[in-house]
Amino acid sequence: MDVDIRSGTIAGLLGFLDRCAEDKDFNRVTVQSMRSGANSVATLLSLPLDTQVAALDIEQLMDHFQAAKGPAFRSAATYRTRLRVASQLYLAWLEGDPEWKSIARTRPRTAAPPMPADSALTPPTRIVEFPVDAHLSIKLELPLSLNQQTAQRLHSLINSLVVDS
């Protein structure tokens, strides 16, 4: 049975990940791991394959998955990250985001030659300092024209780096 990968459903997500596994821009093993994780969550929690991915609360879903797996389950953070990234990648693709592949870059891009700092192509930026805690601050260089789509990509990147203690 052919799955409509544009359906926005769990079945569509799984089909989409199958397609991504064949894409040279992605590491096949990484994408297959995301697909396996998504399938395991859906199977264990008896989620219908026609469930809309956009309607899922990934954090709550993963809390239920972790509880169902029991206290000996040690891969919760890995599963959580894989499902989060897979769903963000899929939803960005569905929305037609031209940068959807950057959400889950699993192969390094070939480096472009460095551009001179005074290039007319360099957009104006600002430095934003963010105090992480009492001992650490980070500085982000952001474009002055930061839009919602780019902000969401930054949010997705930071979420993918979360380590649950």
Structure confidence at residue 20 (pLDDT): 95
Structure confidence at residue 108 (pLDDT): 42
Structure confidence at residue 106 (pLDDT): 47
Structure confidence at residue 120 (pLDDT): 57
Which distant-in-sequence residues (6+ apart) come within 8 Å of 118 by Cβ?
none
Mean pLDDT per 10-residue section of the chain, whose length is 165 residues: 87 96 92 95 96 94 92 88 93 93 60 52 79 82 85 81 73
- pTM of the full predicted structure? 0.63
Cβ pair 54, 13 in contact under 8 A: no
Cβ pair 62, 79 in contact under 8 A: yes
Six-digit token string for 149: 């789509």
